[in-house]
Amino acid sequence: MTKPTTTTDARFRFDVLNAEGPVLVDFFADWCPSCQRISPTLDELAADWEGRLKVVKVDVERNPAMTKAHGIQSMPTLVLFEGGEEQARFVNVIRRAAIEDRLAAVGLAA
């Protein structure tokens, strides 16, 4: 079963911006209760969308450069990238159905 992977400031370009296909990035902090609540949903998405969507996590406290570069101000913030470009952004805890609806809206099939 596929799980979300973790990336860093140093690897963000390789793991996200240069990745083949869409990448959903979770900007999170360990101490954030909302981040903890959405984590199981992201685990499910990584497994259920395997081969169609890569899920990557970025710890905002350990990776301030990418956090700042992408204007992250609230957590959790999920950013969907494809071809190195931001396609969608989700702020705060949201339901899986809402995430999948947004993925469909940008052309990703469930």
3-18 per-residue burial string, b: 16 or more CB within 10 A, e: under 16: ebeebeeeebeebbee
Q: Is 47 part of any domain? A: yes
Q: Kindly report the CATH number assigned to the domain that includes residue 13.
A: 3.40.30.10
Q: Is 101 part of any domain? A: yes
Q: Side by side, which strands form the sheet with 85-91? A: 5-6, 54-59, 23-28, 77-82, 85-91
Residues taking part in catalysis: 32, 35
| pLDDT tens readout for residues 28-86 | 999 999 999 999 999 999 999 999 999 999 999 999 999 999 999 999 999 999 999 99
> Which structural domain range is residue 88 located in?
5-105
Q: How confident is the model at residue 1 (pLDDT cuts 50, 70, 90)?
A: low
44 in Cβ contact with 74 (< 8 Å): no
Q: Is 9 helix (H, G, I), strand (E, B) or coil?
A: coil
Q: Is 18 part of any domain? A: yes
Number of domains in the chain: 1
Q: Is 94 part of any domain? A: yes
Please tell me the least confidently modeled range out of 7-11, 26-30, 32-36, 93-97: 93-97
pTM of the model: 0.94
**Residue 28 CA from chain centroid, whole number:** 9
Q: Is 27 part of any domain? A: yes
